[in-house]
Chain A
């Protein structure tokens, strides 16, 4: 046992990607086991390692953690990316809740029909530019600091950068009305651990493709009929 956290998921983004981002941002090396077959998944189930029969699952500090939000909160707190007190944590939780909702619209995107994809793309861009990005733009403008919460790098910054890059993959000029976010993106991308994660060869996963969708459907026997928002 290496002592490094071990991630159990598909070889793709999905719900695990935010966890990869956060561990990488914290400078924590991790291992991955990729689910490719139904048999692997059933073996995990039978072995009792999946508390609610679901992945993501992360083996960390002697625990088999499930539930993405629980895993992220644990990592954030352990590596001092969760603010210094309850009120800072509340702000981080609120901000992360927003970016989580936004990334949730993108999560199901690969599973949609071609027609629904266009509809969903428009929906994602509309929500990003009218509901979510303006909030973070204003937060950064109002306090003029480098980071979202109390001038300290936190989970909220990592999550927002991840969300920005994902939305940009759907519309490359989506930040054009958001100068603060453009500067934020450049700043956070140049933090050494994040810069490393953004380079080729890192454990960051590419935009999900048809092979990823086919693997998820085959392994989980789910998500055959997803509708756009």
Chain B
């Protein structure tokens, strides 16, 4: 399978950005963004979709972490 060309990459990124915008508006409610999700899945190779999903999770985690929402739990003291 040939690698996506520059045009195909840009289409995939556009679809991803739209989908992510939708998630931002609806606060990670994937059910409300079904249509954008399917267009995203149609534009990008499967590996990229998995990769971008993981990337999204990571970026959200990073936001929460930098906002200080994670505290070390007491149980780790004895470990």
Decide whether A and B assemble into one complex.
no
